[in-house]
Every structure is written in C-alpha cells, then in structure tokens.
Structure 1
Amino acid sequence: MRTSVVCSGGLDSVSLAHVMADENRLTRLVSFDYGQRHRKELDCAAACAVRLQVPHHVVDLRSVGAALTGSALTDDVDVPDGHYAEETMKTTIVPNRNAIMLTIAFGLAAAQGDDAVAAAIHSGDHFIYPDCRPAFAKAFDAMQRAALDGYADIVLDTPFVHSSKAEIVTQGARVATPFAETWSCYKGGKMHCGRCGTCVERREAFHLAGITDPTDYSDPDFWREAVAARETA
C-alpha cells in the first residue's frame, strides 16, 4: 500500500516514517509550515526525507496559522511547563490543525496516486487534542472517502492511535529511528528545554521504554518533578 506520511519532524512522525519505510510502504513525506515557533521540526523532517530517499512536500500554511490565533505554538503566548496531560497544556492547541493538514495531505495523495495517508497521532495526545482522538480519525476517514468517492480510494492510517509514547519509542528503536535527529520541544530554543509538556513526555517515554534518550535538554531532570506532580494531582 503506497503511503504518504504526514511528518512534522517530531519523534512520533519520524518514527512512523521509518516504520513505513521498513514495511516498503513509504512514498513521500508531507510537512506543513504554519508559522510554528518550533521550526526545527521542519529541518528534521527534511533530513528524514533525505535519509529515507523519498520526496518531501512542504506546504506553506503560514497565512492560515497566523489567523488561528491564541495558541502558544504560533502566538506570543508562553508555553507552559509541566506534564503533557495537564489542563494548562491546552494553550498549545492550534484549532483544527490536524483536520486542515490531513485534508491537504489527502488531496496530495490522490494527485500522486497513493493509497493511504499515515499520521502519528497517539494515546498521549487524546486528553489535550480533540483532533488526535480515535473518534476524530474514524470520522475523518469516512469524510475523506466521501470527498474522494469515484476519484480515489485512500485510507487514513493511524497505527499509533492506541499506543503510548513509550511504545512509539520502542517501535522507532526497532527500525533504527535516529531519535537525536527529531525535534519535540515547543519553545523553539537552541536545544530541548526539558520543561514543556512535550519535552517531559519525550523524556518520560524513553525512561518507560528502557531506551537511552540521546536528546540534550536544558533542564534534563525536570521531567521527574512534573511526572510526580501529575501523579499526586
């Protein structure tokens, strides 16, 4: 099944790209520039495409991202510290982001003759992001089948949707994903901050998976405090 992967350049999507390549399914990577402050992800996505020897389509959505105001990922809003599953992390929502990106990715897949679009949404995202939940994936898949009815038959593949971040790390390691060449931090600094929700989740995932984390963090130990705070909340 010819599969294009929506690849932000983060740990999850790069791992997914390597899994698809290992299964001889990967045809291309699709990334989106929506004005996000953590733009190092796009460099990591580009490097992944070169490494896996597939085309890399970067779609310019900066004007759209500028209109989706209020998110800490695109506006002058502080990115909160703490565990990913805390209420404060909802400031990192970019409204309808996945629905917008996947719609474009499906159009591209139809134009290029692919059979599937794969996205790396996973269980750790469910609490915060409504467009990362199984119900959304099921509804979106049905909508796209209707939208392309009679023109193309493309499915939405979300193999990580019921997986934890630690399970994704394990799967990524199985196919030799170079984790050091992925970017997760929402703050857009020179190195991973170690304090934002996605840094905490990343560090915790490696710990739970029992796999060495090659990431350099400005604050490498904060994750323990954040996890403990979440567990006692």
Structure 2
Amino acid sequence: MSRKKAVCILSGGMDSSLSSYIAKKEDGYDIIAVHFNYGQRTEKRELKAFRNICEDLDIKEKYEIDIPFFTQIGASALTDKTIEVPTQGVKPGVPITYVPFRNGIFLSIATAIAEKEEAEAIFIGVVEEDSSGYPDCTDSFIEKMTSAINQGTKESTKIKIETPLVKLMKRDIVKRALELNVPLEHTWSCYKEEEEACGVCDSCRLRLNGFKEANAIDPIPYKD
C-alpha cells in the first residue's frame, strides 16, 4: 500500500519549516519538498536553510526551482535592489516587501508537481494575522486557490491546500516549533542579510517578537 504524499513549499523560514514538520510528524505524509529561487536578496542563505531542513526531515524527493522573472518585474524590495528594505517596523497596508502574486505562482507550480507525483495535499506556511499585510497569505485566498487548482487539473486529481499556521501568531509558531523539535537554528527569516540577520526588517522584527513573547531565545545570529 502506497503512503500518502504531500508537496511542501519550503522556503527555509520558520513558518514553512514548521509547516513541513507538521506534515510529516503529525499528519504522517511522505514529503516532496519544493523550494523557489526567485532572485530574492537572501536567495543563497534561504537555499542553504531549505537543504538543511530537508536533511533534518530526511526528505528524499525535492525540487529546487528557479523563477528569474520576479527580478524582471521588480516592484518589491525583496527582488529589486534599487528599493530599500524597510526597517521602521510594520505599517498599515501592503508593504513594499510584497512580491506580486508570489504565493499564487508558487501554489500553481506546486500543483503541477503534486499532480505529477500523485500527492493529495500541498502544505504552505502562510500566516494570516501575522503576515505583514500580504494579500496572498489569507484564508480566503487559499480557499479560492484550492477551488481553482482542482478545477484546472485532471478529474482524478484531488488536492487540498493545507495551511496549519494560518490562524497562529508568531509566538504560537515559536512554541509549536519548539514542541516539535524543529531545528530553528537552521531556519532563516531575514529579508536583508545572509551572514547575520539584520534584526530590523519586518521579518526579523516579527520573528524576534515571537521569540520574546514565547519566552524563548532565537538561536540564529543577529547583527549587534
């Protein structure tokens, strides 16, 4: 009897890593890990984190996919070096670090892989309440994408998009990660730096605040 399979979109960040651990350790899926190199500032460091987490979870099936066009369209501080990464804290509205329809594109590619691999689920570590205002991290977006991908695939293909973290706050994510022994020292969240995390971009601020509220110490290095 073949085991059930799930495609996990794994950036190497804390959220996607925890989501992958939940898929394997709690839900019992064999994991096919998918990572995207899309010209983000910390592309090399995120790829290293992805490979480390795959090793930690003993994942054999993995895809490393290049999407160069994000740097062509720019429009995001993550992919356009002429736009500064904001360091003044989270503000109302969609931030300049939003990459246009990134999760929609990621999910579309993951769907093609899931259909080929006959996987029944796609795990993505989106977080609605703590997502810095990204429109492609919401429950309603995921619900509509689920409908679209099942409409646009073979009738025999039935795929669920699983978002185990979508309603959690960052402190809860830290706590769950510690409970599941996720090697957080292997994860990377910083938008700006690859050697030592900057500590001041939106992603670092959310991460550090999550550890603080969870009464835990973040094991990755930060600039003084």
TM-score normalised by the chain length of structure 2 = 0.92
Q: Which residue of 2 aligns with 1:73?
A: 78
The structural deviation recorded for 1:188 is 2.5
- Cα distance in 2 for partners of 1:198, 1:191 equals 14
- Cα distance in 1 for partners of 2:16, 2:48 equals 13
State which drifts further: 65-74 or 107-116: 65-74
The structural deviation recorded for 1:218 is 0.8
SS across alignment from 2:161: strand
Distance 1:206 1:113, change over 3 A: same
Q: Residue 27 of structure 1 is aligned with which of 28, 31, 38? A: 31
- Cα distance in 2 for partners of 1:138, 1:52 equals 28
Q: What code does the residue aligned with 1:157 have?
A: E
Q: Residue 109 of structure 1 is aligned with which of 108, 111, 114? A: 114
Q: Which residue of 2 aligns with 1:228?
A: none
Q: Does 1:36 align with 2:19?
A: no
Q: Which residue of 1 aligns with 2:105?
A: 100
- Cα distance in 1 for partners of 2:147, 2:66 equals 26
Task: Map 1:171-182; keep pairs closer than 5 Å.
Answer: 171-182=176-187
Distance 1:37 1:127, change over 3 A: closer
Query: Cα RMSD (Å) of the superposition?
Result: 1.6
State which drifts further: 100-109 or 120-129: 120-129
Q: Which residue of 1 aligns with 2:211?
A: 206
Q: Which residue of 2 aligns with 1:10?
A: 13
- Cα distance in 2 for partners of 1:11, 1:73 equals 18
Distance 1:13 1:102, change over 3 A: same
The structural deviation recorded for 1:149 is 4.3
Q: What code does the residue aligned with 2:50 have?
A: A
What do the CA deviations read for 1:116-154 (whole angstroms, capped 9, x no partner)? Answer: 000000134445210001110111011111111414111
SS across alignment from 2:95: helix
Q: Does 1:45 align with 2:40?
A: no
Q: Quick check: which one's helix share is greater? A: 1
Structure 1 unaligned segments of length 5 or more: list them: 220-233
SS across alignment from 1:90: coil
Q: Does 1:61 align with 2:67?
A: yes
Structure 2 unaligned segments of length 5 or more: list them: none
- Cα distance in 2 for partners of 1:127, 1:179 equals 21
- Cα distance in 1 for partners of 2:93, 2:147 equals 32
What do the CA deviations read for 1:147-179 (whole angstroms, capped 9, x no partner)? Answer: 114141111111111111111111111110011
- Cα distance in 1 for partners of 2:93, 2:221 equals 25
What do the CA deviations read for 1:13-69 (whole angstroms, capped 9, x no partner)? Answer: 11111122212214211010111111111110111112211122111101x212231
Count the aligned residue pairs: 217
